């Protein structure tokens, strides 16, 4: 046998034996007189006669590189779920990427369901409500010494103006301390 058998050539090009038989019938393969396949000449003829849009595998040159951010996101998602993560630079397999995608979709659905049930609130709205409440509490405390100082001064037998001045000083100092507290909604 001078060349390859149908099985050998099928393994050589990564196709099924049936696909090789069809190519042979369509005369897209070069055969030796003994019926075996000339691999080099057949590869060239197949490349000339095969429509690239009909092939199952896209040419390697047309594949876009995967951004590092996407690979890192897949790794983070797998790590959060306690699944195996590829080594740095080791590459992510299609199965790992698909698993990460399914995990993310499940997380997204869970969040959407929680929002529909009323278990989650909008972060921007919550921040606005907290800010408004804090402003109202601050304004109430700023105005309190003017209302309460006369009553306290009468109970203690001191001058109301002096009492109001002392109360305002201490209330403002306390509000300054409270202003340093920043809520973290992350």
The conformation of residue 61, written as its DSSP 8-state character, comes to G
Distance separating alpha carbons of residues 142 and 146, to the nearest angstrom = 8
Residue 102's SS3 state is: helix
Q: What is the pLDDT confidence band of residue 133, given thresholds at 50, 70 and 90? A: very high
Residue 186 CB partners (closer than 8 Å, separation 6+): none
What pLDDT score does 51 carry? 75
- Total-model pTM: 0.39
Length of the chain: 186
What pLDDT score does 30 carry? 92
Check: CB of residue 43 under 8 Å from CB of residue 58: no
Distance separating alpha carbons of residues 118 and 127, to the nearest angstrom = 17
pLDDT digits (tens, 9 = 90+) for 6-58: 999 999 988 899 999 998 998 889 999 998 999 999 999 988 887 777 766 65
Distance separating alpha carbons of residues 186 and 181, to the nearest angstrom = 15
> What are the structure tokens assigned to 125, written together?
């709205």
Check: CB of residue 7 under 8 Å from CB of residue 37: no
Categorise residue 35: left if φ over 0, alpha if ψ from -120 to 50, beta otherwise.
left
Please give the mean pLDDT across all residues of the chain.
83
**Tokens 């429509």 sit at which residue?**
51
Distance separating alpha carbons of residues 45 and 48, to the nearest angstrom = 5
pLDDT digits (tens, 9 = 90+) for 59-89: 555 556 666 777 777 777 777 877 777 665 5
Q: Which residue has the higher pLDDT, 113 or 121?
A: 113
Instruction: Parse the chain into domains and list their residue ranges.
Output: 6-61, 68-117, 123-179
The conformation of residue 185, written as its DSSP 8-state character, comes to -
Residue 41 CB partners (closer than 8 Å, separation 6+): 30
């Amino acid at each position: 046998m001078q060349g390859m058998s149908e099985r050998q050539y099928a393994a050589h090009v990564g196709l099924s034996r049936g696909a090789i038989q069809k190519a042979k019938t369509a005369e897209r393969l070069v055969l030796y007189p003994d019926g075996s396949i000339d691999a080099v000449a057949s590869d060239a003829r197949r490349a000339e006669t095969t429509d690239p849009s009909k092939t199952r595998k896209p040419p390697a040159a047309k594949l876009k590189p995967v951004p590092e951010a996407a690979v890192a996101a897949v790794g983070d998602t797998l790590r959060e779920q306690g699944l195996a993560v590829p080594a740095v630079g080791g590459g992510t397999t299609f199965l790992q990427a698909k698993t990460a995608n399914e995990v993310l979709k499940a997380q997204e659905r869970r969040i959407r369901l929680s929002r529909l049930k009323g278990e989650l609130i909008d972060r921007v709205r919550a921040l606005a409500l907290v800010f408004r409440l804090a402003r109202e509490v601050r304004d109430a405390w700023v105005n309190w010494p003017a209302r309460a100082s006369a009553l306290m001064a009468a109970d203690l037998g001191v001058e109301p103006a002096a009492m109001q001045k002392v109360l305002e000083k201490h209330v403002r100092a306390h509000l300054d301390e409270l202003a340093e507290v920043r809520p973290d909604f992350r």
